[in-house]
Amino acid sequence: MFYDPFGEIRRLHEYLDRVFEDFMRAPVTSAQDVGFVAPPVDVVDEGDKIRIVAEIPGVNKEDLDVRVYDDSVVIRAERKSDREQSDRGYYIRERSYSTYYRTIALPAPVVPEKAEATYRNGVLELILPKRVPEKQDGGFRVSVK
């Protein structure tokens, strides 16, 4: 009998397939089940700036927390709603709560202090000016070891 390394790889592959099948089969009925919602975003490189458009419906502007770093953007938001209705003998009171969270890696370094943000009709738009690399006259000398 000889050792079959490919048999070990096949068994590992089958095991991982079972793990992912179980994971995908687990029911997720709402955003609250996973704890947060990652808003869909578009990241567009426009030459001298980066534009990010994120869909965050139903959130008040005051409940948005946007942090811009040199190489990434973090968007957090909370949406709370409370609805009460009384009609023809029925009484309904519904509450919902959602947390939006997304970290976006940027394709180029930006200047965080010059970032601009607008929020209209559930759409957050960020304009991030790119950091201009410092120009070096003779290039950067690298010592060869």
User: What gap in Å lies between CA 53 and CA 141, rounded to an integer?
Assistant: 39
Instruction: Note the pLDDT tens digit of each residue in 89-143.
Output: 667 777 767 788 889 999 999 999 999 999 999 999 999 999 987 665 665 666 6
Q: Note the pLDDT of residue 106.
A: 93
Q: Are 96 and 80 in contact (CB under 8 A)?
A: yes
What is the CATH number for 48? Answer: 2.60.40.790
Q: Note the pLDDT of residue 17.
A: 80
Question: Phi and psi dihedrals of 29, rounded to 5?
Answer: -100, -20
* Beta sheet of 123-129, edge-to-edge order: 41-45, 49-55, 123-129, 116-120
User: What gap in Å lies between CA 123 and CA 38, rounded to an integer?
Assistant: 14
User: What gap in Å lies between CA 74 and CA 101, rounded to an integer?
Assistant: 7
136 in a structural domain: no
144 in a structural domain: no
10 in a structural domain: no
- Average pLDDT rounded to a whole number, residues 46-61: 91
58 in a structural domain: yes
Q: Which domain holds residue 43?
A: 35-129
DSSP E strands in the chain: the ranges are 41-45, 49-55, 64-68, 72-87, 90-105, 116-120, 123-129
Instruction: Note the pLDDT tens digit of each residue in 102-114.
Output: 899 999 999 999 9
1 in a structural domain: no
Count the domains in the chain.
1
Q: Is the pLDDT of residue 36 over 70?
A: no
Q: 38 vs 71, which has greater pLDDT?
A: 71
14 in a structural domain: no
137 in a structural domain: no
